[in-house]
Structure 1
Amino acid sequence: MDDLRTIIDKTLKQYLNAKQTPFKDNQLANYFRREPKQYIESYIKKTGFHFNYDVKSSVGNGRWAIIPWIVLFDTDISNSATNGIYIAYLFAEDMSKVYLSLMQGWTYYYNEFGTKIGQIKINAALNYWRNSLNLTSSTFSTQDIHLIDPSKRYDTSLPRGYELGNIMSIKYDAGQLPTNQKMEDDLSLMIQSLEELKSKLISTKDIDLSNKYVLSRTNIIKNHKRTPTKRDYDQQS
Protein backbone atom coordinates (compact mmCIF):
# COMPACT_ATOMS: atom_id res chain seq x y z
CA MET A 1 0.00 0.00 0.00
CA ASP A 2 1.42 3.38 -1.01
CA ASP A 3 1.61 6.25 1.47
CA LEU A 4 -0.29 9.52 1.11
CA ARG A 5 2.54 11.47 -0.52
CA THR A 6 3.11 8.75 -3.12
CA ILE A 7 -0.59 8.62 -3.99
CA ILE A 8 -0.77 12.40 -4.47
CA ASP A 9 2.50 12.58 -6.38
CA LYS A 10 1.61 9.70 -8.71
CA THR A 11 -1.73 11.28 -9.55
CA LEU A 12 -0.20 14.69 -10.28
CA LYS A 13 2.43 13.16 -12.56
CA GLN A 14 0.30 10.64 -14.45
CA TYR A 15 -3.26 11.96 -14.67
CA LEU A 16 -2.95 14.14 -17.78
CA ASN A 17 -1.35 11.30 -19.76
CA ALA A 18 -3.91 8.83 -18.44
CA LYS A 19 -6.72 11.10 -19.71
CA GLN A 20 -5.48 10.53 -23.24
CA THR A 21 -6.15 6.80 -22.93
CA PRO A 22 -9.44 4.85 -22.66
CA PHE A 23 -11.22 5.27 -19.33
CA LYS A 24 -12.45 1.72 -18.95
CA ASP A 25 -10.11 -0.59 -17.00
CA ASN A 26 -7.46 2.12 -16.85
CA GLN A 27 -4.59 1.29 -14.50
CA LEU A 28 -4.35 4.74 -12.89
CA ALA A 29 -8.12 4.98 -12.50
CA ASN A 30 -8.23 1.63 -10.72
CA TYR A 31 -5.28 2.65 -8.54
CA PHE A 32 -6.95 5.95 -7.61
CA ARG A 33 -10.19 4.27 -6.63
CA ARG A 34 -8.37 1.78 -4.39
CA GLU A 35 -5.24 3.25 -2.79
CA PRO A 36 -6.51 6.51 -1.21
CA LYS A 37 -9.34 4.71 0.59
CA GLN A 38 -7.07 1.97 1.91
CA TYR A 39 -4.41 4.39 3.10
CA ILE A 40 -6.65 7.00 4.75
CA GLU A 41 -8.73 4.34 6.50
CA SER A 42 -5.57 2.73 7.88
CA TYR A 43 -4.28 6.16 8.96
CA ILE A 44 -7.48 6.99 10.84
CA LYS A 45 -7.39 3.65 12.66
CA LYS A 46 -3.72 4.16 13.54
CA THR A 47 -4.24 7.66 14.91
CA GLY A 48 -7.30 6.74 16.96
CA PHE A 49 -9.84 9.22 15.61
CA HIS A 50 -13.34 8.17 16.66
CA PHE A 51 -16.08 9.13 14.23
CA ASN A 52 -18.21 7.45 11.59
CA TYR A 53 -16.25 7.98 8.40
CA ASP A 54 -16.18 7.04 4.77
CA VAL A 55 -13.49 7.64 2.16
CA LYS A 56 -14.27 7.99 -1.53
CA SER A 57 -12.17 8.94 -4.53
CA SER A 58 -13.12 9.63 -8.12
CA VAL A 59 -11.52 10.18 -11.50
CA GLY A 60 -14.91 10.29 -13.16
CA ASN A 61 -17.97 8.19 -13.90
CA GLY A 62 -17.77 6.69 -17.37
CA ARG A 63 -15.33 9.36 -18.52
CA TRP A 64 -12.37 11.24 -17.09
CA ALA A 65 -13.20 13.93 -14.53
CA ILE A 66 -11.99 17.49 -14.93
CA ILE A 67 -11.14 17.53 -11.22
CA PRO A 68 -10.21 14.20 -9.62
CA TRP A 69 -10.83 14.16 -5.89
CA ILE A 70 -10.36 12.21 -2.68
CA VAL A 71 -12.95 12.87 0.00
CA LEU A 72 -13.12 12.01 3.69
CA PHE A 73 -16.65 12.19 5.07
CA ASP A 74 -17.92 12.25 8.61
CA THR A 75 -21.06 10.35 7.67
CA ASP A 76 -23.07 12.01 10.44
CA ILE A 77 -22.98 15.26 8.46
CA SER A 78 -22.22 14.36 4.84
CA ASN A 79 -21.93 11.51 2.37
CA SER A 80 -21.72 13.43 -0.91
CA ALA A 81 -19.11 15.75 -2.43
CA THR A 82 -21.89 18.15 -3.41
CA ASN A 83 -23.59 18.56 -0.03
CA GLY A 84 -22.72 18.87 3.64
CA ILE A 85 -19.28 19.60 5.07
CA TYR A 86 -16.30 17.34 4.47
CA ILE A 87 -12.55 17.14 3.80
CA ALA A 88 -11.25 16.83 0.24
CA TYR A 89 -8.08 16.58 -1.79
CA LEU A 90 -8.91 18.51 -4.96
CA PHE A 91 -6.54 18.31 -7.95
CA ALA A 92 -6.25 21.30 -10.28
CA GLU A 93 -7.27 20.59 -13.86
CA ASP A 94 -3.72 21.14 -15.14
CA MET A 95 -2.21 19.01 -12.34
CA SER A 96 -0.05 21.93 -11.18
CA LYS A 97 -1.27 21.59 -7.59
CA VAL A 98 -3.61 19.87 -5.19
CA TYR A 99 -5.53 21.35 -2.27
CA LEU A 100 -6.35 19.74 1.05
CA SER A 101 -9.58 21.55 1.82
CA LEU A 102 -12.31 21.76 4.43
CA MET A 103 -15.35 22.02 2.17
CA GLN A 104 -18.93 23.27 2.29
CA GLY A 105 -21.09 21.65 -0.41
CA TRP A 106 -22.31 24.14 -3.04
CA THR A 107 -25.41 22.28 -4.26
CA TYR A 108 -27.63 23.34 -1.34
CA TYR A 109 -26.94 27.03 -2.02
CA TYR A 110 -27.47 26.65 -5.75
CA ASN A 111 -30.76 24.81 -5.34
CA GLU A 112 -32.03 27.16 -2.65
CA PHE A 113 -30.99 30.53 -4.07
CA GLY A 114 -29.73 30.16 -7.63
CA THR A 115 -26.25 30.96 -8.92
CA LYS A 116 -25.85 34.68 -8.24
CA ILE A 117 -27.38 34.93 -4.77
CA GLY A 118 -26.16 31.45 -3.90
CA GLN A 119 -22.56 32.63 -4.29
CA ILE A 120 -23.19 35.50 -1.88
CA LYS A 121 -24.88 33.18 0.61
CA ILE A 122 -22.21 30.47 0.57
CA ASN A 123 -19.47 33.08 0.97
CA ALA A 124 -21.26 34.39 4.07
CA ALA A 125 -21.47 30.84 5.45
CA LEU A 126 -17.77 30.25 4.76
CA ASN A 127 -16.83 33.42 6.62
CA TYR A 128 -19.05 32.40 9.52
CA TRP A 129 -17.18 29.10 9.90
CA ARG A 130 -13.77 30.71 9.42
CA ASN A 131 -14.53 33.07 12.30
CA SER A 132 -16.04 30.33 14.48
CA LEU A 133 -13.28 27.73 14.35
CA ASN A 134 -10.55 27.87 16.97
CA LEU A 135 -8.54 24.85 15.91
CA THR A 136 -6.74 25.97 12.79
CA SER A 137 -3.13 26.10 11.65
CA SER A 138 -0.82 28.78 10.31
CA THR A 139 -0.52 26.63 7.20
CA PHE A 140 -4.29 26.83 6.55
CA SER A 141 -5.37 29.52 4.10
CA THR A 142 -8.82 31.06 3.67
CA GLN A 143 -7.95 32.41 0.23
CA ASP A 144 -9.87 31.22 -2.82
CA ILE A 145 -8.72 27.99 -4.41
CA HIS A 146 -8.15 27.79 -8.17
CA LEU A 147 -8.86 24.49 -9.88
CA ILE A 148 -9.89 25.43 -13.43
CA ASP A 149 -9.16 27.99 -16.13
CA PRO A 150 -11.71 30.80 -15.54
CA SER A 151 -11.65 31.72 -19.25
CA LYS A 152 -12.89 28.27 -20.35
CA ARG A 153 -16.46 26.99 -20.53
CA TYR A 154 -17.18 23.60 -18.97
CA ASP A 155 -20.07 21.20 -19.48
CA THR A 156 -20.42 20.73 -15.72
CA SER A 157 -20.66 23.17 -12.82
CA LEU A 158 -18.96 20.82 -10.33
CA PRO A 159 -15.42 22.27 -10.60
CA ARG A 160 -16.67 25.79 -9.92
CA GLY A 161 -18.79 24.45 -7.06
CA TYR A 162 -15.67 22.99 -5.45
CA GLU A 163 -13.94 26.36 -5.72
CA LEU A 164 -16.90 28.16 -4.15
CA GLY A 165 -17.14 25.74 -1.21
CA ASN A 166 -13.64 26.09 0.24
CA ILE A 167 -13.69 27.05 3.93
CA MET A 168 -9.94 26.73 4.37
CA SER A 169 -7.19 24.81 2.64
CA ILE A 170 -3.54 23.92 2.22
CA LYS A 171 -2.02 24.07 -1.26
CA TYR A 172 0.59 21.55 -2.34
CA ASP A 173 2.43 22.45 -5.55
CA ALA A 174 3.37 19.66 -7.93
CA GLY A 175 7.07 18.85 -7.68
CA GLN A 176 7.28 20.46 -4.24
CA LEU A 177 5.27 18.10 -2.07
CA PRO A 178 6.25 18.02 1.62
CA THR A 179 7.14 14.81 3.40
CA ASN A 180 4.52 12.17 4.00
CA GLN A 181 4.70 12.94 7.73
CA LYS A 182 3.90 16.61 7.11
CA MET A 183 0.98 15.69 4.86
CA GLU A 184 -0.35 13.32 7.53
CA ASP A 185 0.00 16.03 10.18
CA ASP A 186 -1.95 18.45 7.97
CA LEU A 187 -4.69 15.85 7.47
CA SER A 188 -4.87 15.27 11.22
CA LEU A 189 -5.35 18.99 11.88
CA MET A 190 -8.00 19.20 9.17
CA ILE A 191 -9.90 16.26 10.70
CA GLN A 192 -9.82 17.97 14.08
CA SER A 193 -11.14 21.17 12.49
CA LEU A 194 -13.97 19.22 10.85
CA GLU A 195 -14.91 17.67 14.18
CA GLU A 196 -14.85 21.09 15.87
CA LEU A 197 -17.14 22.45 13.16
CA LYS A 198 -19.42 19.47 13.63
CA SER A 199 -19.68 20.28 17.34
CA LYS A 200 -20.98 23.76 16.45
CA LEU A 201 -23.79 22.59 14.15
CA ILE A 202 -27.25 23.01 15.61
CA SER A 203 -28.26 19.70 14.03
CA THR A 204 -26.08 16.87 12.71
CA LYS A 205 -29.21 15.12 11.45
CA ASP A 206 -30.38 18.03 9.28
CA ILE A 207 -27.44 19.78 7.60
CA ASP A 208 -29.79 22.01 5.60
CA LEU A 209 -31.30 23.30 8.85
CA SER A 210 -27.79 24.05 10.10
CA ASN A 211 -27.03 25.89 6.85
CA LYS A 212 -30.15 28.01 7.25
CA TYR A 213 -29.34 28.76 10.87
CA VAL A 214 -25.83 29.91 9.92
CA LEU A 215 -27.27 32.21 7.26
CA SER A 216 -29.72 33.63 9.78
CA ARG A 217 -26.73 34.76 11.88
CA THR A 218 -24.92 36.55 9.04
CA ASN A 219 -25.41 40.07 7.74
CA ILE A 220 -26.17 39.51 4.08
CA ILE A 221 -28.85 40.62 1.66
CA LYS A 222 -32.28 39.26 2.46
CA ASN A 223 -33.87 39.28 -0.99
CA HIS A 224 -33.43 36.23 -3.18
CA LYS A 225 -35.39 34.54 -5.91
CA ARG A 226 -36.38 31.47 -3.92
CA THR A 227 -38.11 31.50 -0.55
CA PRO A 228 -37.00 28.71 1.83
CA THR A 229 -39.28 27.29 4.50
CA LYS A 230 -39.47 29.59 7.51
CA ARG A 231 -38.38 28.13 10.83
CA ASP A 232 -37.69 29.49 14.29
CA TYR A 233 -33.96 28.73 14.35
CA ASP A 234 -33.30 30.09 17.86
CA GLN A 235 -36.07 27.95 19.30
CA GLN A 236 -34.84 24.85 17.47
CA SER A 237 -31.26 25.52 18.56
Structure 2
Amino acid sequence: MSLGHALRRVVEEYPLARTEPPAGHPLAHVIRKGAPDELRRALAPLDGSFLVKGSPGRGSHWAAVPWLAVFDPAVTTSATRGYYLVYLFPAHRQAVHLSLAQGTVAAIREHGPRSGDHLRASGARLRERLSDFSDVLPVSAITLGSGGELPEGYEAAHILGLTYDLADLGDERRLRADLATGLAAYRALKARGGLELTAQRLKCQ
Protein backbone atom coordinates (compact mmCIF):
# COMPACT_ATOMS: atom_id res chain seq x y z
CA MET A 1 0.00 0.00 0.00
CA SER A 2 1.19 3.54 -0.80
CA LEU A 3 0.10 6.87 0.66
CA GLY A 4 -2.10 7.50 -2.37
CA HIS A 5 -3.67 4.06 -2.12
CA ALA A 6 -4.40 4.56 1.58
CA LEU A 7 -6.03 7.93 0.93
CA ARG A 8 -8.03 6.48 -1.94
CA ARG A 9 -9.35 3.66 0.24
CA VAL A 10 -10.70 6.13 2.76
CA VAL A 11 -12.31 8.26 0.06
CA GLU A 12 -13.96 5.32 -1.68
CA GLU A 13 -14.91 3.13 1.27
CA TYR A 14 -15.87 5.56 4.03
CA PRO A 15 -19.46 6.31 2.93
CA LEU A 16 -20.42 2.62 3.04
CA ALA A 17 -18.32 1.91 6.14
CA ARG A 18 -20.31 4.53 8.07
CA THR A 19 -23.42 2.38 7.68
CA GLU A 20 -21.74 -0.41 9.66
CA PRO A 21 -20.46 -0.58 13.27
CA PRO A 22 -16.92 0.86 13.53
CA ALA A 23 -15.68 -1.65 16.12
CA GLY A 24 -13.26 -4.00 14.38
CA HIS A 25 -14.04 -2.53 10.96
CA PRO A 26 -11.21 -2.96 8.42
CA LEU A 27 -11.42 0.66 7.29
CA ALA A 28 -11.20 1.94 10.86
CA HIS A 29 -7.98 -0.07 11.10
CA VAL A 30 -6.71 1.49 7.86
CA ILE A 31 -7.36 4.99 9.20
CA ARG A 32 -5.81 4.30 12.60
CA LYS A 33 -2.88 2.12 11.48
CA GLY A 34 -2.42 1.52 7.75
CA ALA A 35 -2.72 5.11 6.52
CA PRO A 36 -0.57 6.56 9.34
CA ASP A 37 2.10 3.95 8.56
CA GLU A 38 2.13 5.03 4.91
CA LEU A 39 2.29 8.68 5.90
CA ARG A 40 5.25 7.94 8.18
CA ARG A 41 7.02 6.25 5.26
CA ALA A 42 6.40 9.30 3.10
CA LEU A 43 7.78 11.54 5.85
CA ALA A 44 10.88 9.40 6.42
CA PRO A 45 13.08 11.11 3.77
CA LEU A 46 12.23 14.50 5.28
CA ASP A 47 14.15 15.83 8.25
CA GLY A 48 12.37 16.10 11.56
CA SER A 49 10.54 14.12 14.19
CA PHE A 50 6.78 14.06 13.71
CA LEU A 51 3.80 12.44 15.36
CA VAL A 52 1.27 10.91 12.96
CA LYS A 53 -2.30 10.03 13.90
CA GLY A 54 -5.45 9.01 12.06
CA SER A 55 -8.98 9.22 13.42
CA PRO A 56 -12.11 7.48 12.08
CA GLY A 57 -14.09 8.67 15.11
CA ARG A 58 -14.49 7.64 18.73
CA GLY A 59 -16.01 4.61 20.36
CA SER A 60 -19.12 3.44 18.56
CA HIS A 61 -19.38 6.54 16.37
CA TRP A 62 -17.76 7.21 13.01
CA ALA A 63 -16.47 10.75 12.55
CA ALA A 64 -18.45 12.99 10.20
CA VAL A 65 -15.05 13.91 8.74
CA PRO A 66 -12.19 11.43 9.28
CA TRP A 67 -8.65 12.79 9.30
CA LEU A 68 -4.98 11.85 9.02
CA ALA A 69 -2.61 14.35 10.61
CA VAL A 70 1.05 15.25 11.07
CA PHE A 71 1.99 16.99 14.32
CA ASP A 72 5.24 18.68 15.27
CA PRO A 73 5.46 17.73 18.98
CA ALA A 74 7.11 21.08 19.72
CA VAL A 75 3.89 22.75 18.52
CA THR A 76 1.12 20.29 19.41
CA THR A 77 0.38 16.59 19.75
CA SER A 78 -3.35 16.98 19.20
CA ALA A 79 -5.80 18.26 16.60
CA THR A 80 -7.59 20.17 19.36
CA ARG A 81 -5.02 22.96 19.71
CA GLY A 82 -2.03 24.64 18.08
CA TYR A 83 -1.62 24.04 14.35
CA TYR A 84 -0.80 21.01 12.25
CA LEU A 85 -0.88 19.46 8.77
CA VAL A 86 -3.87 17.24 8.04
CA TYR A 87 -5.64 15.28 5.33
CA LEU A 88 -9.41 15.83 5.66
CA PHE A 89 -11.99 13.69 3.86
CA PRO A 90 -15.16 15.64 2.95
CA ALA A 91 -18.51 13.93 3.29
CA HIS A 92 -20.10 15.27 0.10
CA ARG A 93 -17.55 14.48 -2.61
CA GLN A 94 -14.80 12.03 -3.52
CA ALA A 95 -11.85 14.20 -2.62
CA VAL A 96 -9.17 14.86 -0.01
CA HIS A 97 -8.03 18.21 1.37
CA LEU A 98 -4.43 18.67 2.48
CA SER A 99 -4.80 21.44 5.04
CA LEU A 100 -2.46 23.44 7.21
CA ALA A 101 -4.95 23.95 9.99
CA GLN A 102 -5.47 25.51 13.39
CA GLY A 103 -6.66 23.51 16.38
CA THR A 104 -10.45 23.63 16.47
CA VAL A 105 -11.61 22.40 19.87
CA ALA A 106 -9.48 24.86 21.84
CA ALA A 107 -10.95 27.73 19.80
CA ILE A 108 -14.50 26.46 20.39
CA ARG A 109 -13.87 26.25 24.13
CA GLU A 110 -12.37 29.73 24.28
CA HIS A 111 -14.61 31.62 21.86
CA GLY A 112 -17.86 29.64 21.86
CA PRO A 113 -20.30 30.71 19.13
CA ARG A 114 -17.72 33.18 17.80
CA SER A 115 -15.07 30.50 17.27
CA GLY A 116 -15.68 30.27 13.52
CA ASP A 117 -15.22 34.01 13.06
CA HIS A 118 -12.11 33.91 15.24
CA LEU A 119 -10.56 31.03 13.29
CA ARG A 120 -11.30 32.61 9.91
CA ALA A 121 -9.81 35.94 10.99
CA SER A 122 -6.77 34.17 12.40
CA GLY A 123 -6.41 32.11 9.22
CA ALA A 124 -6.45 35.24 7.07
CA ARG A 125 -3.64 36.72 9.16
CA LEU A 126 -1.64 33.52 8.93
CA ARG A 127 -2.05 33.39 5.14
CA GLU A 128 -0.53 36.86 4.98
CA ARG A 129 2.50 35.60 6.90
CA LEU A 130 2.75 32.59 4.57
CA SER A 131 2.19 34.54 1.36
CA ASP A 132 5.29 32.96 -0.19
CA PHE A 133 3.39 29.63 -0.20
CA SER A 134 0.24 30.97 -1.87
CA ASP A 135 1.21 29.72 -5.33
CA VAL A 136 2.10 26.18 -4.26
CA LEU A 137 -0.66 25.79 -1.64
CA PRO A 138 -3.37 27.91 -3.29
CA VAL A 139 -6.54 26.56 -1.65
CA SER A 140 -7.55 29.16 0.93
CA ALA A 141 -11.00 27.74 1.80
CA ILE A 142 -12.41 24.22 2.03
CA THR A 143 -15.85 22.67 2.37
CA LEU A 144 -16.47 19.37 4.10
CA GLY A 145 -20.13 18.82 3.31
CA SER A 146 -21.22 18.09 6.85
CA GLY A 147 -22.92 20.24 9.45
CA GLY A 148 -21.95 20.23 13.07
CA GLU A 149 -19.51 21.97 15.34
CA LEU A 150 -16.38 20.02 14.41
CA PRO A 151 -16.73 19.87 10.59
CA GLU A 152 -17.63 23.55 10.47
CA GLY A 153 -14.73 24.24 12.81
CA TYR A 154 -12.33 22.37 10.52
CA GLU A 155 -13.52 24.49 7.61
CA ALA A 156 -12.98 27.72 9.55
CA ALA A 157 -9.59 26.54 10.88
CA HIS A 158 -8.10 25.96 7.42
CA ILE A 159 -5.17 28.24 6.60
CA LEU A 160 -3.97 27.05 3.19
CA GLY A 161 -3.46 23.81 1.30
CA LEU A 162 -4.51 21.68 -1.67
CA THR A 163 -7.48 19.61 -2.79
CA TYR A 164 -7.17 16.27 -4.58
CA ASP A 165 -9.85 14.60 -6.64
CA LEU A 166 -9.88 10.82 -6.74
CA ALA A 167 -7.85 10.64 -9.96
CA ASP A 168 -5.06 12.73 -8.41
CA LEU A 169 -4.36 10.11 -5.76
CA GLY A 170 -2.65 7.82 -8.26
CA ASP A 171 0.30 10.20 -8.57
CA GLU A 172 2.45 9.15 -5.61
CA ARG A 173 5.34 11.39 -6.62
CA ARG A 174 3.08 14.44 -6.60
CA LEU A 175 1.55 13.49 -3.26
CA ARG A 176 4.97 13.20 -1.66
CA ALA A 177 6.18 16.46 -3.20
CA ASP A 178 3.05 18.24 -1.96
CA LEU A 179 3.53 16.72 1.49
CA ALA A 180 7.05 18.17 1.57
CA THR A 181 5.65 21.56 0.55
CA GLY A 182 2.97 21.41 3.23
CA LEU A 183 5.61 20.48 5.78
CA ALA A 184 7.75 23.43 4.66
CA ALA A 185 4.79 25.76 5.25
CA TYR A 186 4.23 24.17 8.67
CA ARG A 187 7.86 24.79 9.58
CA ALA A 188 7.75 28.32 8.21
CA LEU A 189 4.72 29.14 10.35
CA LYS A 190 6.55 27.82 13.40
CA ALA A 191 9.65 29.89 12.56
CA ARG A 192 7.51 33.01 12.05
CA GLY A 193 5.89 32.90 15.46
CA GLY A 194 3.11 30.35 15.05
CA LEU A 195 -0.28 31.47 16.34
CA GLU A 196 1.09 33.76 19.03
CA LEU A 197 1.65 36.89 16.95
CA THR A 198 -1.72 36.45 15.27
CA ALA A 199 -3.50 36.08 18.62
CA GLN A 200 -1.88 39.27 19.86
CA ARG A 201 -2.95 41.19 16.75
CA LEU A 202 -6.54 39.96 16.97
CA LYS A 203 -6.75 41.04 20.62
CA CYS A 204 -5.58 44.51 19.65
CA GLN A 205 -8.33 44.96 17.05
Q: Same fold (TM over 0.5)?
A: yes
Structure 2 gaps, min length 5 = none
Which one of 193, 199, 203 corresponds to residue 215 of structure 1?
199
In 1, the alpha carbon distance for the partners of 2:106 and 2:113 equals 11
- 1:113 aligned residue: 111
What TM-score, normalized by structure 2, do the two folds share?
Answer: 0.90
Matched, 1:55 2:69: no
- Count residues with an aligned counterpart: 204
In 2, the alpha carbon distance for the partners of 1:5 and 1:137 equals 24
Which one of 135, 138, 143 corresponds to residue 141 of structure 1?
138
Considering fraction of residues, name the structure with more helix. 2
Amino acid at match of 2:29: N
Which region of structure 1 is more displaced relative to structure 2, 169-178 or 59-68? 169-178
- 2:183 aligned residue: 191
What TM-score, normalized by structure 1, do the two folds share?
Answer: 0.78
**Relative to structure 1, is the Cα distance of residues 36 and 109 closer, same or farther in structure 2, using a 3 angstrom cutoff?**
same
- 2:88 aligned residue: 90
* CA apart distance, 1:17: 1.4
In 2, the alpha carbon distance for the partners of 1:37 and 1:96 equals 20
- 1:14 aligned residue: 13
Verify the 8 A CA contact 2:119 2:156 in the aligned structure 1.
yes
Which one of 163, 167, 175 corresponds to residue 171 of structure 1?
163
**Relative to structure 1, is the Cα distance of residues 13 and 40 closer, same or farther in structure 2, using a 3 angstrom cutoff?**
same
Rg larger in 1 or in 2?
Answer: 1
Considering fraction of residues, name the structure with more strand. 2
SS in 1 for 2:23: coil
Which region of structure 1 is more displaced relative to structure 2, 164-173 or 134-143? 134-143
Give identity over the alignment, percent: 26
- 2:125 aligned residue: 128
In 2, the alpha carbon distance for the partners of 1:129 and 1:197 equals 8
Structure 1 gaps, min length 5 = 222-237
The two structures, once aligned, show a CA RMSD in angstroms of 2.1
**Relative to structure 1, is the Cα distance of residues 96 and 120 closer, same or farther in structure 2, using a 3 angstrom cutoff?**
same
In 1, the alpha carbon distance for the partners of 2:127 and 2:27 equals 36
Amino acid at match of 1:66: A
* CA apart distance, 1:23: 1.3
* CA apart distance, 1:134: 5.0
Which region of structure 1 is more displaced relative to structure 2, 77-86 or 118-127? 118-127
- 1:28 aligned residue: 27
Verify the 8 A CA contact 1:16 1:95 in the aligned structure 2.
no
Verify the 8 A CA contact 1:130 1:167 in the aligned structure 2.
yes
In 2, the alpha carbon distance for the partners of 1:20 and 1:217 equals 45
In 2, the alpha carbon distance for the partners of 1:102 and 1:170 equals 9
Amino acid at match of 2:189: L
